[in-house]
Amino acid sequence: MKLAVGADHGGFARKGPLVRWLKKEGHAVTDVGTHGEEPVDYPDFAAQVARRVARGACARGILLCGTGIGMAIAANKVPGVRAAVAWSVETARLAAEHNKANVLCLGGRQFNSRQIQAMVKAWLSTPFGGGRHERRVKKIMALEKSC
């Protein structure tokens, strides 16, 4: 799968190991940065990943900041993006199954690399459940057109 990955300084330490693991798992990864620990503005990286996902250049995106919250707020401003913050394997799985999340946001300061890999693996391997969830996702996407 083609993935876009981005981080700010709060997620930088976890991004490198995640990118290497994703490539080892056979994914094509576009790393949009950041490429150092100096403070940067997370909306810049959230926008780059979200836009790649929204226009179809990448199937999904992964964003890392200190908590994942700021990245999710910023990414969800891009039409077509459904960014979800996960804090466990179960919430990552449910983001895919129930919400058809196409961007996963994680806290680089909250989890170690192994925990992040487990959440990403659950998210990537869980299909969208459809059914009643499809109706709800359509309503979420309709909100973009009504504002």
pLDDT tens for the 147 residues of the chain, in order: 999 999 999 999 999 999 999 999 999 999 999 999 999 999 999 999 999 999 999 999 999 999 999 999 999 999 999 999 999 999 999 999 999 999 999 999 999 999 999 999 999 999 999 999 999 999 999 998 887
The pLDDT, as a whole number, for residue 146 is 86
9, 65, 105, 147: the active-site residue: 65
Q: Is 35 a catalytic residue?
A: no
27, 35, 58, 98: the active-site residue: 98
Domains with residue ranges and CATH for the chain:
2-146 (3.40.1400.10)
The pLDDT, as a whole number, for residue 147 is 73
Kindly state the tokens that stand for 142: 């309709």
Q: Contact at 8 Å (CB) between 113 and 17? A: yes
The pLDDT, as a whole number, for residue 66 is 98
Q: Is 27 a catalytic residue?
A: no
Q: 112: Cβ–Cβ under 8 A, 6 or more apart, which residues?
A: 14
The pLDDT, as a whole number, for residue 145 is 86
Edge-to-edge strand ranges of the sheet holding 60-65: 28-31, 2-7, 60-65, 103-107, 83-85
